[in-house]
Chains A and B, each alone.
Chain A
Amino acid sequence: MEITAVYYLIPALIMFCCGVYGFITRKNMIAMLVSLELMLNAVDINFVVFNRFLFPEQMEGMFFALFAIAIAAAETALAIAIIINIFRAAKNIDVRSLNEMKF
């Protein structure tokens, strides 16, 4: 049995959908951040898979994935910092209750 691109893409799709579902439904900001990471990683898999199967003689997809991982790490650090600050200010990280500056 030959492993084709679809074998990689379907788990990635499932991962992405899980991420979207989690991002929409979870009210805890940490959980939302985790879901976000899940979506990013699903996209990274797609980059690598398409690079491997469509243009095996080139490396752009791989590098793109590496960049995305690095940027995701930085972004996570930033988001965690924001969440910690919000927690300090509001003693809470539930997005539904953070509506003080709403209209």
Chain B
Amino acid sequence: MAITIPILILAIPLFMFFFLGLFGMKMSHKLAGTLGTLGMGSVLVLSYFTAFQYFFSGLDIFVNEAGDRLQYLVFDQTWLQFTEKLVIKLGFLLDPISAMMLVVITTISFMVHLYSMGYMRDHHGVFEHGFQRFYAFLSLFSFSMLGLVVAPNIFQMYIFWELVGASSYLLIGFYYKKPSAVSASKKAFIVTRFADLGFLIGILTLSWYTGTFNFTELTSVPVEGLAGVTQVNIGTAESIRNIFATSAAPTFMGASVLTWALVLIFMGGMGKSAMMPLHIWLPDAMEGPTPVSALIHAATMVVAGVYLVARLFPLYLMEDSAMIIITVVGALTAFYAAMVACVQVDIKRVLAFSTISQIAFMMVSLGVARPEYHEGLGYMASMFHLFTHAMFKALLFLGAGALIHAIGSNDYTAMHGLRKSMPITHITFLIGCLAIAGIIPFSGFFSKDEILSSCGQYDILVYLWMSLVAGLTAFYMFRLYYLIFWWKEHVTPEGHHAPHDQPWTMTLPLVILAAISCVAGFIPFGNLVTWNGEPYDFMAHFDWSVASISLLVAICGIALATVMYRKENELPAKMRRALPALWTWCYHRFYWDELYQFITHKIIFGLISKPLAWFDRHIIDGTMDSFATLTNKASEAIKPLQSGQIQMYVFYYLIGALLLGGITILCLI
């Protein structure tokens, strides 16, 4: 496989970032947007070509005789060499999940580029201030995300991990004149940075013991006779575990060091993927422009944590406790986010919590995946859900963006009854809702069903819990849908345009994504993406009993939402009065933000920072200041001696001379 295409996949977005960033202001808004979109379009074509080659060309570097998919290191360039062993490389690893992620990222990114051409202007077609900057940042984000998923070593992943964090910060704070956007961007950056501290410690622990950063050396064995080709093998992970077990210090505080390393790495993933308790940044990140929310905070960046766990999946298999932590964190987060999503009134907040909940689904799916259950079905289901979720959640966000653009508000109390005035948005949004709720034959049905059946094989409790969450998902999505498009007839406020469908740049991505959401479920994902590359026919594992139960649960959720929200009625208000405590807690997101506020302001600032600041200001600075004051006082005291009056000097001189003379005389006598 030629090396040019992978390099171009990374180089084009980077070039577009510098080009639009440096010269964007010199060109017209339209040209900048078109160039950015075209650049992303070419990356899209190249990525599709690469993924197609990888999955379907059947070359011996991509697939062996048994049909197992291999990992192929396209290039691996030494970037920083600190010592003989500590080398940081930049490379491009092609394997099932990175090829799949290339497709996901470039598809969503291209849709968002196209969509933003329509979204980032007002009703009169005037482009927003900073339009070129927006496209430059989008390109930077695409570059970082692509670099992250193709990273062949964990350090490159960490570098790009921080880069996506930085570009997310820049894009959330795009409306930098709005204080809430600025504080949201800072919150996102600080919370994820805090999580990345754990990630870094995890990386260092892992590589200190194993002596390598490379994923292939951690999880795979080289294939004979082919340079740069490796195959995932559980034996490598076992030997890594033995390295830890036979090392000088195999345990730390009651858990094995490998568990610590894996859990700390997972902590980085928790931060990026907004798992409880590090989820607080994601709802606030909705302050950014809606296309950014679709690209970064729904489809690509937030699944980086899932991707990270999937990358190191064979190692996670070695430590059951780490897997249980992933499952528990995922299950709790999924339920929590679904509960909160049921009562929010901001359309983007509902989608944000829904994203958290769905990513938690993927996490649970990885946590319950074991090779012995249906050949690691959970892993495949997680990646499948990642793929389908990216498509339908981007669709929902872009649809929400179209609504916000038409109405001019995030609050859906201003939006009722839009089904007639915005038909395309209505239909595509409905498809997105059906997909996320898990209705056959939309894509979410297949992926969620596989997640549930792998949960069922792991533990019946996890299965019931996640089914409940799936029901809640259907309920809150259809609550959102009915409140926007039904409930009561729309009344256009005085002085506003009547809402209508948006220009083609905005509706085309909706239609394409809706089409993908309709058919993506039929992709034979088991043939393409599995934890060890070994393909299997997942329809053989398709369990109709699980499927029909989850379908029933979803239909119950939808039916409840239909009863409550289809026509304006008193039922929701009655429910709210019946369970006031539950409603208040959900509405305030279980007071997580307040808890953080309390911990940071009252405990950290009040009890630690303030005394430290006092010590610094009064003891350390005080010592230094008193030196200065002393010197100052002393010089003030002797300053009058230096009067500038020559007669005084002469007088002193005279007295001195007389004294010396007197002393001399006395000595001589």
Question: Which of B639, B644, B654: most chain A Cβ within 10 A?
Answer: B644
Q: Indicate whether B579 reaches chain A with its CB closer than 8 angstroms.
A: no
What chain A residues lie within 8 Å of B639 (beta carbons)? Answer: 103
What chain A residues lie within 8 Å of B645 (beta carbons)? Answer: 95-96
What chain B residues lie within 8 Å of A27 (beta carbons)? Answer: 647
Give complex CA distance A99, B643 in Å: 9
Give complex CA distance A96, B648 in Å: 11
CB interface residues, B 611-669, toward A, < 8 Å: 639, 642-647, 650-651, 654
| Cβ-defined contact, A23 with B644, below 8 A | no
Q: Which of A24, A99, A103 contacts B647 (CB 8 A)?
A: A24
CB interface residues, A 7-61, toward B, < 8 Å: 20, 23-25, 27, 32
Q: Is the interface of B mostly helix, strand, loop or mixed?
A: helix
Q: Which of B643, B646, B654 contacts A20 (CB 8 A)?
A: B654
Q: Which of B642, B643, B654 contacts A24 (CB 8 A)?
A: B654
Give complex CA distance A32, B646 in Å: 11
Give complex CA distance A24, B650 in Å: 7
Q: Indicate whether A102 reaches chain B with its CB closer than 8 angstroms.
A: yes
**Which chain B residue shows the least CB distance to A102?**
B644
Give complex CA distance A32, B650 in Å: 12
**Which of under 10, 10 to 19, 20 to 34, or 35 or more describes the interface residues of B?**
10 to 19
Shortest B651–chain A CB gap in Å is 5
| Cβ-defined contact, A95 with B646, below 8 A | yes
Shortest A66–chain B CB gap in Å is 27
CB interface residues, B 115-156, toward A, < 8 Å: none
Shortest B660–chain A CB gap in Å is 16
CB interface residues, A 57-103, toward B, < 8 Å: 95-96, 99, 102-103
Give complex CA distance A25, B648 in Å: 9
What chain B residues lie within 8 Å of A102 (beta carbons)? Answer: 643-644
Give complex CA distance A52, B647 in Å: 34
What chain B residues lie within 8 Å of A99 (beta carbons)? Answer: 644
What chain A residues lie within 8 Å of B654 (beta carbons)? Answer: 20, 24
What chain B residues lie within 8 Å of A20 (beta carbons)? Answer: 650, 654
Shortest A100–chain B CB gap in Å is 10
Shortest A26–chain B CB gap in Å is 8
Give complex CA distance A20, B639 in Å: 25
**Which chain A residue shows the least CB distance to B647?**
A24
Give complex CA distance A20, B650 in Å: 9
What chain A residues lie within 8 Å of B643 (beta carbons)? Answer: 102
Give complex CA distance A24, B642 in Å: 16
What chain A residues lie within 8 Å of B647 (beta carbons)? Answer: 23-25, 27, 32, 95
Query: Per-position contact with A for B152-180: 1 when CB-CB < 8 Å, else 0?
Result: 00000000000000000000000000000
What chain A residues lie within 8 Å of B642 (beta carbons)? Answer: 103
**Which chain A residue shows the least CB distance to B644?**
A102
Shortest A14–chain B CB gap in Å is 16
What chain B residues lie within 8 Å of A25 (beta carbons)? Answer: 647
**Which chain B residue shows the least CB distance to A99?**
B644
Give complex CA distance A20, B647 in Å: 10
Shortest A16–chain B CB gap in Å is 12
Give complex CA distance A103, B647 in Å: 18
Shortest B377–chain A CB gap in Å is 86
What chain B residues lie within 8 Å of A32 (beta carbons)? Answer: 647
Give complex CA distance A27, B654 in Å: 18
Give complex CA distance A25, B651 in Å: 9
Shortest B654–chain A CB gap in Å is 7
Give complex CA distance A96, B651 in Å: 15
Pull 10 A–B residue pairs with CB atoms less than 8 Å apart, ordered by A: A20-B650, A20-B654, A23-B650, A24-B647, A24-B650, A27-B647, A32-B647, A95-B645, A95-B646, A103-B639
Residues of B within 8 A of A (CB): 639, 642-647, 650-651, 654
In addition to A23-B650, A24-B651, A95-B647, 16 A-B residue pairs with Cβ atoms within 8 Å of each other are: A20-B650, A20-B654, A23-B647, A24-B647, A24-B650, A24-B654, A27-B647, A32-B647, A95-B646, A96-B645, A99-B644, A102-B643, A102-B644, A103-B639, A103-B642, A103-B644
For the complex of A and B, the 5 pairs showing the least CB-CB separation, nearest first, are A102-B644, A24-B647, A24-B651, A24-B650, A99-B644
